[in-house]
Amino acid sequence: MCFFDVPREPLVLGLVLGTMAESELARALALVGGNVPELLHGIAMSPICLVMIALALWTGIRSFSKSMRAGK
């Protein structure tokens, strides 16, 4: 860890949550019968995901417009 100057906590968190995320993805794929487009459609159409997409677009458009105004 000291050789690569990597903090220990994010590494452990990534190892634990990565394993959990992989098993949940496998479970979700089993629920939709391996149909990835159906899984992605189900995820993308959930209300919380739609709110997060809208916030990300709003933030991106707002920062782009600010940078365009600052460039003039």
What pLDDT sits at residue 42? Answer: 87
Q: Give kind and range of the element (H or E) at residue 26.
A: helix 8-31
Asked if residues 63 and 70 have their Cβ atoms less than 8 Å apart, the reply is no
Dihedral angle of Cα 52, 55, 61, 64, to the nearest 10 degrees: -90
User: pLDDT, tens digit, for every residue of 58-72?
Assistant: 999 999 998 888 875
Asked if residues 49 and 43 have their Cβ atoms less than 8 Å apart, the reply is yes
- Residue 11 is encoded by which pair of tokens? 């590494």
Domain boundaries of the chain, sorted by first residue: 1-31, 36-72
Q: What is the pTM of this model?
A: 0.56
- Residue 21 is encoded by which pair of tokens? 């995320």
Distance CA 17, CA 29 (A): 18
User: pLDDT, tens digit, for every residue of 5-34?
Assistant: 888 898 899 999 999 999 999 999 999 999
